[in-house]
Structure formats: C-alpha cells, structure tokens
Structure 1
C-alpha cells in the first residue's frame, strides 16, 4: 500500500496555526466542564476558580492561626530575649571575675612569698599589702557568688519561658508547612512557570499580585516578579523585586542562611546591570552554585542558565545549567523553552541544535494553543535559523496579529533584522 504524500511545510504550518486556535475553543465530548484544554489555563476555568477560592481561604486561615499563635508568643519572646542577653552578659562578667581572681591569687602568693623572706621594717608593709589583697579576694568571691546566683535564677526563668515558647514555635513551624503546601497548590493551579515560559509575563505579575494580597510572606513571589520585570526590560524594577525577596526572607522571616534562589535572581539582575555590579554578580552565581549543589533547585539552575544565555561566550555554560535544571525537574517549561532558544540562536556548534530546538518550540506553541506572541516569535526565530523561510513568514503574520499594538513596531524591527528583505 502506497504511503500518503507528505504535507508541504507551508500547509503544515498553516494547519498547525488553525489547530492551535481551534484547540482553545470548548468542544463537546472532549473534556469535562471546568477542566482546561490546550490553549486554556486551568485557573480560568470554573473549577479552577473554585479551587483558587479554596486556596485563598486556606491561606487566610493559616495566617489567622499564625497571627493568633504569634500574639501568644510575642510577649514571652519580649521577656525572654532581654533575659537571655542579660544572662549572657552575667556569664561574661563571671568569666572576667574568674580571670581577675586568678590574678589576685597569684599576686597574694607573690606577696606572701616576699613576706616569708622579709626582715625588719619590710615585714609590716608586706603584711598590710597581703591583707589588702586578701580583702579584695574576699570581696570578689562575694560578688562572684552573687553573680552566679543571678545567673542561676535567670537560667531557671529562661527555661520556664523556653518551655512556654517551645510548643508555640512547634505550632508556627507546622503552620509554615501548611502555608508551603497551600503555595504548592497555588503554583500547581496558577502555573507561573508555564506562563513565564510562553512569555506571558503580565499574567504572572497579575497572578502573583493577587496571591500576595493573602500570602504576605512569600519571597518566591518576588522572585517571579523580578524575572518577569527582567524579561520586560525593566532592570530597576527587577532589582527592586529581587531585593524585596531577600529583605522579606532575612528581615521579616529571620532566615539568616543564604538560599540559592535568591542568590541566583540577584546575580541575574546584577549581571545585566554590569559595571561595578558584575563582580558582585559572579560572586552570587558562585554562591548559588555551591548552595544548589547541596540542595538541588531547578529554579536556581534555570536562572543561571538564563543569565548565561545572554552572552554567546557563555553559551556552553548556559546549556550546562539549563540541562541541570531539567535533570532536577524534567520537562520544567522555563528551562525547556530557553534551552530550545539556545539551540536555535547560539553560534557554537557544540550548543546549536536547530532541529531539536525547533521541534521543542513547535510542541510548546501547539500546547499553548498558539496564543502567545512571544513564544510564537521564538519559533519564528527557529524557523529562520532552520532556513524555513516560508514557515517563518506564515507564522510571523500570526505573531504580529497577536502582539499588542504597542509592541508591533519593535517586533517589526526585530523581524527585519532577523529576516532581511522580508
């Protein structure tokens, strides 16, 4: 039996575009009501909205309980912390007294030795000196006993407070676990990584802004905002969000240990700022890499790869980090799309793989329902790299129609440079 003739590429791309558009429309018998199909985000369905409402309510409940526990803990902590500081000072004073006592004892021993060998008029002043030193020793020993008594009382009071605070800290830790579970549910539903990967940065901003009305203590939200601002070319805003994430983590939450995600996002922004910030960025990247080696993070490796992808000289490093990200979390869309972009735009033969990158971008374009002009333009770039001019031109028209009016002029300039004479 003869095989069917292959579909010409121009027709294939046109079919792909029509399919993507049609997939965004509900079809009877294809999916259940409220579930999301291709080209539709789950958080926009009725079921998704209901689930989002549940997540918001759960987050509010967790924060309400957290505030209640914190209100019980705060006065105890206000009493405990100064007491702990006072005990530390008393213990320091005690060590100083011990050192002083040792010196006085040595001095008394020296005077006593001199007294044993003294004769005549030398005896009386040495005896007087010895009595004075012994008096100092007695007074110091009294002070030491009083100081030790204060320490003992303070430690007993501190232990009482610790016993009262411990169950509250345990409850706060449990509530923190609860809010992290709620965040995971929110991330699963709102899909910031998927939105970011297809270039829908405005939607990520909107989703995170909405969530942060309830979840006030989430540094990760500011990480997403920083990345989106970076992609939109607003580096000042990106730095603001990156700093907010770090301030929230260290000042509000009291987390003193560095984390790879914060280091990577700050490094991404500082590397773009250049100048005096470049050296700082390299240090942060090194720290992020060390931390992620201990505790793997797909997000950290992606951000590092994204930064390296800016420079052709770092294309190999970009490939390594993006592949690491995919190893930590296979098929994560952020690393997937940027590895594909790297494969279709890099000049290095060891990095460039136009066929594989194009195939990936085509699959993502189809899965997105053909609705993202930024993702579509990535695929246009890939078609040009693959010398598929007809496909590029066909898709370009769709991308231009999808792009907001304010973006079309800049997009035309980019395409003119990409495909001269078009």
Structure 2
C-alpha cells in the first residue's frame, strides 16, 4: 500500500469568511454546508481508493509470492555455481592424477573422472532449467509490476486528495482552537464524527489522545496513542518513525511513570531528532506540554513551545500553554506574568468568554499578577460556565490558588 504523510494539518489560520468572535465556524449554516461537502468529498475519495485497491490486491497477491520464488531460485542458482566450481576443481585434480597414473591406478581414476563429469553435466542441465525458470518469473514479475505501477500512482494521487480534504476539515472544525480553549469534549465529538468517513487518519487519534490526557484519563490516552501507531504501521504500512507519534506516546508514558518513564525519554529524544529534520509544530507543542508538567523542566517546556510557535506562528495550542507557563512557572527565566496574562486575556476575548477552562487559566494569571479583584470577578463567571459535575473540583483548585476566597 502506498505510504502517506502523517503530518497534521496546520493550525491557527482562519480562512476568509470565518465566524465572528465567540462563534465556531462549523456551527454556522454555511459551515454545516461546507462540512457536508467535505464529508461527501472524503467518501468519494475512499470509494475510488477502494475500487483501485480492489484491482491492485489480486495483482499484489500474485506478485509478492512470485518475487519470493524468484529470489529463492536466484539463491539456488548461486549455490549451483559454487557447486559447479568445486566439481570442476575436483575433475581437474582427478585428471591431473590420471595423467601421472600407471598400471592398476589408471582404471579407477578414469571411472572417477567419468563420474565427476556426469555430475557436472547433470548440474549444468539443472542450472539451465533454473535459469529458464528465473527468466520466465522475471518476465511475469515485470508484467505484474507494469500493471501495478499505474494503480500505485492513482493511490498516491487519491491520498493527496484526502489530505487536502483533511486540511479543509481542520480549517473548518478547528480542533487546535477548540483544544487550546479547553473544549476537549468538542474535539472528541468532531474527530469521532470525521472518523466515520476518514478511517485512515492517525492524526485523529493523536487529538483524541491529547484530549483524554487533559481530561485525566491516561489509560484512554494510551489507547488512542497506540491506535494511531497501529494504524500508521499496520494499516498504512509506514515503517519509518514519525515525530508526532513518538511525541504523543512519550507524553502519555511520561505521565504513566515507573517503567514507562525511560521509554518516554527515548521517544522524546527520537521525536526531537525527527522534528529537527522535518519541523512539526504539533510535535514541539506536545513535548512542551509534557515538560510543562514539571517545574524542573520549565525551561525545556519554554524552548519547545517557542519552537512550535516558530514553526507555526500563533498556533493556539502552543500559544495558550506558553502563556500558562509564563503565569505559573517559578523560574524567573521562564516567568513573564504580564505577557502571559495579556495573551490569555486576548484568547478569552477572542473565544467570546465561553470556555470555563480557558477562563480558569486566566483566573490563575490574575492571581499571579496580584489582580485579586479581576480574579474574583472572572472566577464567578468561570464557576457559572462550568458543568455542575466540575464545580466541586474547580472550587477546590481555586481555594488552593487563592486562600481565603
């Protein structure tokens, strides 16, 4: 099967005609119409892909065993050549002995020579037959390759088409923007809906893994991260590692700790090497998000989040987490409460003040900036926005953040 790119569509750029402040473009009537068009386009691409794959599959099933058979025949041919060389040397030795033989020694040597020569003749016949089989096999293989090549070309073109459709879906449904403001459930819903049509997108499972991680369900996060990797390697046949998968698995494993911590460090190192070769805003963001969990890694978190923003300026995921880092970190080289608060205020305003999680990030920033009145006012709004099931835990967090409130 033709390998496809794993890179996630770019984030943080709104197309012309985007929805107004506080409104998601995929909720408007125009957005819903466009989403329907994208779904239909994806279905059409998959339908054509399935048709081409159905033509390719029997050819591949015939080609692969044939290629293996030819390889084995060629190996057998090399063994025969080596055996023939040994027999020729042996015949030459017997002949030399015969030339010097006298009396009773002559007859046995002649008989021995005839036997060796018979083996040589028989082996040469086998070699010619083997070579004939190889020639026929190679001709058949070339015929199959010529039939498969245009199908592979068409599959590659179709994968380009589906990646373009994914770009359109990402532009419309904005998973990065939803994730950044803490609407993890909305990201889940959007990806679930899309995966009913786009069955072979590892990036969808990456988003699900990140959302499960933020919601505190590490087991589910690992499940989605593994699904992405299985889909990439087993279904799509991609053998080379990619930075996005390595980073997401590392994020989850680092949180799991214990025996998984060493694996996480290895995966982070691999993700960094891969992203240095092929920059990925998503990879650097995920690495920065993981490092932001630990005060001792605050500097590394800052570096990775800034790298993410260098690869894709203003991408919302790195933007919000860099702001959180600036308003919560203790290290002076990382902490910049004024800048972080300004960023979070802008994002809160841009979102229309509707996300309780993003609002709480700003509450944290106001507390860090010693803006107690602003923190208390916004806290009341955040608490009212939060679902009933979240309010108790949110109150506990706020009590620790602002004792006496």
| TM-score interval (norm. to shorter) | over 0.9
1:175 positional shift = 0.4
Question: What's the offset of the Cα at 1:31?
Answer: 15
Of residues 161-170 and 205-214 in structure 1, the stretch that sits farther from structure 2 once superposed is 161-170
CA contact (8 A) 1:115 1:127 kept: yes
The 3-state SS of whatever aligns with 2:286 is helix
Q: Is the 8 A contact 1:31 1:37 kept in 2?
A: no
Displacement after TM superposition at 1:124 (Å): 2.6
1:33 deviation in Å? 14
Alignment check: 8 A CA contact 1:20 1:370 kept: no
Give the drift of 1:252: 0.7
1:231 is matched with which residue? Answer: 214
Look up the match of 1:13.
none
Give the Cα separation in 1 of the matches to 2:109 and 2:3. 105
Structure 1 residues 402-411 or 129-138, which shifts more? 129-138
Partner Cα distance (1:70, 1:57) in 2: 20
CA displacement 1:348-374 (0-9 Å, x = unmatched): 111111111111111001101111111
CA-to-partner distance for each residue in 1:150-185, whole Å, 9 max, x for gaps? 111011111111111111111111000000000000
Displacement of 1:394? 1.0
Long gaps (5+) in structure 1: 1-17
Instruction: Evaluate the alpha carbon distance shift between residue 28 and residue 127 of structure 1 in structure 2; reply closer, same or farther with a 3 A threshold.
Output: closer
C-alpha spacing 1:56/1:417, structure 2 compared with 1 (3 Å)? same
Q: Does the 8 Å CA contact 1:340/1:357 hold for their aligned counterparts? A: yes
CA distance in 1, matches of 2:103, 2:316: 98
C-alpha displacement of 1:233: 0.6
Deviations 1:367-421 (A, max 9, x none): 0111111111111111111111111111111111111111111111111111111
Give the 3 Å change call, closer, same or farther, for CA 45–114 of structure 1 in structure 2: same
Contact 1:23-1:369 within 8 A present in 2 as well: no
1:62-111 CA-to-partner distances (Å, cap 9, x unmatched) read: 01111111111111111111111111111111112122222222222233
- Structure 1 contact 24–38 (Cα < 8 Å) conserved: no
Listed one character per residue, the Cα deviations across residues 320-367 of structure 1 (whole Å, up to 9, x for unaligned) are 111110000000000000111111111111111111111111100110
Equivalent runs, 1:216-255 vs 2, <5 Å: 216-255=199-238
Matches within 5 A, 1:126-275: 126-275=109-258
Count of paired positions:
405
User: Are 2:2 and 2:155, in contact at CA under 8 Å, matched by a contact in 1?
Assistant: no
For the residues of structure 1 that align with 2:112 and 2:69, how far apart are their CA atoms? 36
1:21/1:369 contact within 8 Å kept: no
Conservation of the 8 A alpha-carbon contact between 2:6 and 2:203 = no
Range 392-401 or range 204-213, more displaced: 392-401
Whole-angstrom distance in 1 between the partners of 2:289 and 2:268: 12
Counterpart Cα distance in 2 of 1:400 and 1:169 = 55
Aligned CA distance change for structure 1 residues 99 and 196 (closer, same or farther; 3 Å) = same
- Once structures 1 and 2 are overlaid, which stretch shifts more, 150-159 or 96-105? 96-105
Q: Is the 1:297–1:325 contact (alpha carbons within 8 Å) kept by the matching residues of 2?
A: yes
- Give me the whole-angstrom Cα distance separating, in 1, the residues matched to 2:297 and 2:363: 23
Contact 1:24 1:37 (8 Å CA) reproduced = no
Aligned-pair distance for 1:282?
1.0
SS, match of residue 265 in structure 2: helix
CA contact (8 A) 2:12 2:177 kept: no
Report the secondary structure of 1:19's partner residue.
coil
Aligned partner of residue 389 in structure 2, secondary structure:
helix
Distance 2:174 2:204 in 1: 12
Deviations 1:259-311 (A, max 9, x none): 11111111111111111111111111111111111111100111111111111
